[in-house]
Amino acid sequence: MTKQLVFIASGGRTGTQFFGDMLGEVISDCHSEHEPDMVAGASRLTLDRLRRFGAWHMGPGRLMGRRGVRVVGQRLLEGRIDPETAISRLRSSRRAYHDGLNSSLIVESYYAWWMVADRIGQIWPGAKLAGVIRDPRDWITSWQRHEPKRRRGALTERLPPGPLTPEKLGDREAAVLWPQLDQVGRLAWEWALICRTLDRASGGNSNVEVFRFEDLFGPDPGALNNLARFVAEHAEGPPHQIGDFDAIAGSRRNASSGPPLRWQAWSDAQVAAVAHFCGDAMRAHGYGGEPDWRARVAASGSL
């Protein structure tokens, strides 16, 4: 049986684990999954996922740079493997997994799918991808709380394939600025890269759509219902019924820890870095229109 495949991508801190854990509970004949990441942390479902994905995929395959969406996707972005190799590795890493599931609709929710967002239809023809973005100011502070050393030598950045940097991607302008950027500035560059990639993938492609985190988790259920329809409706294959999201609303949780952080405490240099890297995409997605933010950007000067 040909599977209907949907991938939910972001850049982290946008609820991908919630969707991976819960969409299968509200959409009929649907198996939803969040790829297990033993470095970033485990959940109550991790053991079952390890059994499905396999020890090779989760251990040696990742360390050797041959398995794992983040590993393969980053090597593709850096030009260390060609598209054909990336496509082959991702297909082979999922073949037995997809075949072993009885559900006709399979949803994989994992932040690193953004790295191959514009090639998802080449990897699996007919597959869909939902990108989730978040206000970069909140995204940055959420990463600082969740993983304080991110972009400052975090454990995940010490393992293959290492941290993603402008130099590795051939981004000369950002590479020149990189040494002077602190954690906020480097995360701003990363957010802009993710957002541009998702926007580019969605351009003229009805199988890729970008959603805002604030809309999905806000009081109006419209965006969440739109996401569910996007996931459930396919040109080919069996139809799927969408249940009541209220039944799983209590499963939402904030995975960040530590005291709340706010952009209002940023230095002028940090505000300037966010405005420099993220400004255009922020405006395109309806972020950053507040008078106090605009005043801070104007006062902070250029990067």
pLDDT-based confidence at residue 66 (cuts at 50, 70, 90):
low
Q: What angle do CA 210, 225, 99 make, to 5 degrees?
A: 75
Residue written as token pair 């040909």: 2
Q: Is the pLDDT of residue 58 over 80?
A: no
Closest CA to 130 of 60, 69, 210: 210
Residues 258, 174: Cα–Cα separation, whole Å: 30
Check residue 185 and give its pLDDT. Answer: 98
Residues 246, 26: Cα–Cα separation, whole Å: 10
Over residues 182-233, the pLDDT tens digits come to 999 999 999 999 999 999 999 999 999 999 999 999 999 999 999 999 999 9
**2 phi/psi in degrees, rounded to 5:** -75, 130
Q: Is the pLDDT of residue 59 over 90?
A: no
Q: What is the mean pLDDT of residues 8-14?
A: 90
Q: What is the mean pLDDT of residues 7-17?
A: 89
**209 phi/psi in degrees, rounded to 5:** -140, 145
Over residues 125-157, the pLDDT tens digits come to 999 999 999 999 999 999 999 786 777 777 777
Is 105 within 8 Å of 240 (Cβ atoms)? yes
Over residues 161-186, the pLDDT tens digits come to 889 999 999 999 999 999 999 999 99
Check residue 147 and give its pLDDT. Answer: 80
Check residue 159 and give its pLDDT. Answer: 78
Residue type, 147: E
Give me the CATH code for the 4-258 domain, please.
Answer: 3.40.50
pLDDT-based confidence at residue 256 (cuts at 50, 70, 90):
low
Q: Is the pLDDT of residue 23 over 60?
A: yes
pLDDT-based confidence at residue 96 (cuts at 50, 70, 90):
confident
Closest CA to 108 of 92, 132, 88, 130: 130
Angle between helices 222-232 and 16-26 (to 10 degrees): 70
Buried b (16+ CB within 10 A) or exposed e, 251-266: eeeeeeeeeebebeeb
Q: What is the mean pLDDT of residues 269-294?
A: 98
Closest CA to 137 of 279, 284, 2: 279
Instruction: Tokens for 47, please give them.
Output: 């053991």
Is 270 within 8 Å of 185 (Cβ atoms)? yes
The better pLDDT of the pair 120, 35 is held by 120
Q: What is the mean pLDDT of residues 279-287?
A: 98
Is 192 within 8 Å of 11 (Cβ atoms)? no
In the chain, domain spans: 4-258
Residues 139, 147: Cα–Cα separation, whole Å: 12
What average pLDDT is seen over the chain? 88
Check residue 31 and give its pLDDT. Answer: 95
Residue type, 235: A
